[in-house]
């Protein structure tokens, strides 16, 4: 985990104004808080440790890590090769020491091959490089259908693949975590690594979308 968070108040009085998520039942929230306070009282863990973990997920990991890796691979063929052969080593090269502790495998999209990642049994996800998974990734519809009708799922995400593109779905069931290296979109010749990074979306690294060049190009 990363650097200690500032010693701000560890406030667990909850803000009930968070009304956009109607199914969060108060009983579950109360149970969570009761368990937390019990574990704190018993000295099993400390509020500083809790703060550090939450801060890591909220601030220190996210798709910006994966996007930088992809943009580097798009601009540097040697880096791309190293990334595909040894993703943790390639993460270390860019200074992502935390992320490099994950047994990451990078799957290369190329003309005629599209990769897509799911975890049908639970919610395995390369959070060290993409942050925590979105709810849809953990949901029953995605987990049930990604393996049996991937093209329909992709088309619901607006990703229509021609028939001659083969779809490889990866059901993450072990200690390995998979991330997709999407294809560099056409029309980005001469773009800087920074400009390219901005094109790389989380969904394109899960494999349910392809990076798009915005109509008003930043170039």
Active site amino acids? 119, 122-124
Q: Which member of 2, 4, 24, 76 binds another protein (CB under 8 A)?
A: 24
Q: What are phi and psi for residue 53, nearest 5 degrees?
A: -65, -45
- Per the structure block, which two tokens stand in for 163? 């028939």
Residue 96 Cβ, how far from another protein at the closest point, in Å?
18
190 torsion bin: left (phi>0), alpha (psi -120 to 50), beta (else): left
The C-alpha atoms of residue 11 and residue 33 are separated, in whole angstroms, by: 11
Assess contact for 75 and 208: CB atoms under 8 A: no
Q: Does 6 bind another protein (CB under 8 A)?
A: no
Closer residue to another protein in complex, CB, 94/105: 105
Q: Does 4 bind another protein (CB under 8 A)?
A: no
Q: Does 215 bind another protein (CB under 8 A)?
A: no
Residue 163 Cβ, how far from another protein at the closest point, in Å?
7
Q: Does 76 bind another protein (CB under 8 A)?
A: no
Count CA atoms closer than 13 A to 136's CA, side-chain side.
11
Q: Does 37 bind another protein (CB under 8 A)?
A: yes
What is the footprint of another protein within residues 128-167 (CB under 8 A)? 131-132, 134-136, 138-145, 147-148, 150-151, 153, 156-157, 163, 166-167
Show the binding pattern over residues 166-185: x = contacts another protein (CB under 8 A), - = does not. xxxxxxxxxxx---------
Residue 135 Cβ, how far from another protein at the closest point, in Å?
6
> Which residue reads 């909220």 in tokens?
58
Q: Does 44 bind another protein (CB under 8 A)?
A: yes
Q: What are phi and psi for residue 4, nearest 5 degrees?
A: -60, 145
Assess contact for 98 and 128: CB atoms under 8 A: yes
Rg value, the chain, Cα: 20
Return the SS3 of 85: helix
In degrees to the nearest 10, what's the CA dihedral of 45, 51, 54, 57? -110
Q: Does 15 bind another protein (CB under 8 A)?
A: yes
Q: Which member of 4, 81, 89, 121 binds another protein (CB under 8 A)?
A: 121
Return the SS3 of 180: strand
Binding residues for another protein, rule: CB under 8 A, are 12, 14-15, 18, 20-21, 23-25, 28-29, 31-39, 41-45, 49-50, 53-54, 57-58, 103, 105, 120-123, 131-132, 134-136, 138-145, 147-148, 150-151, 153, 156-157, 163, 166-176
């Amino acid at each position: 985990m990363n650097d200690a968070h500032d010693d701000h108040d560890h406030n667990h009085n909850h803000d009930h104004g968070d009304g956009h998520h109607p199914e969060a039942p108060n009983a579950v929230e109360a149970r969570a808080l009761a368990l937390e306070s019990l574990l704190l009282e018993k000295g099993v863990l400390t509020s500083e440790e809790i703060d550090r973990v939450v801060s890591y997920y909220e601030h220190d990991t996210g798709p910006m890590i994966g996007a930088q890796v992809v943009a580097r691979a798009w601009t540097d063929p040697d880096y791309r090769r190293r990334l595909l052969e040894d993703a943790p080593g390639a993460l270390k090269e860019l200074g992502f020491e935390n992320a490099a502790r994950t047994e990451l495998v990078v799957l290369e999209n190329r003309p005629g091959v599209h990769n897509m990642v799911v975890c049908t049994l639970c919610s395995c996800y390369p959070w060290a490089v993409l942050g925590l998974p979105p709810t849809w990734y953990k949901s029953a519809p995605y987990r049930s259908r990604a393996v049996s009708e991937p093209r329909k799922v992709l088309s619901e995400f607006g990703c229509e693949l021609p028939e001659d593109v083969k779809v490889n779905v990866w059901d993450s069931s072990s200690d390995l975590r998979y991330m997709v290296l999407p294809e560099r979109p056409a029309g980005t010749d001469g773009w800087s690594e920074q400009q390219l990074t901005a094109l790389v979306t989380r969904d394109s690294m899960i494999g349910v979308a392809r990076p798009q060049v915005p109509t008003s190009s930043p170039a």
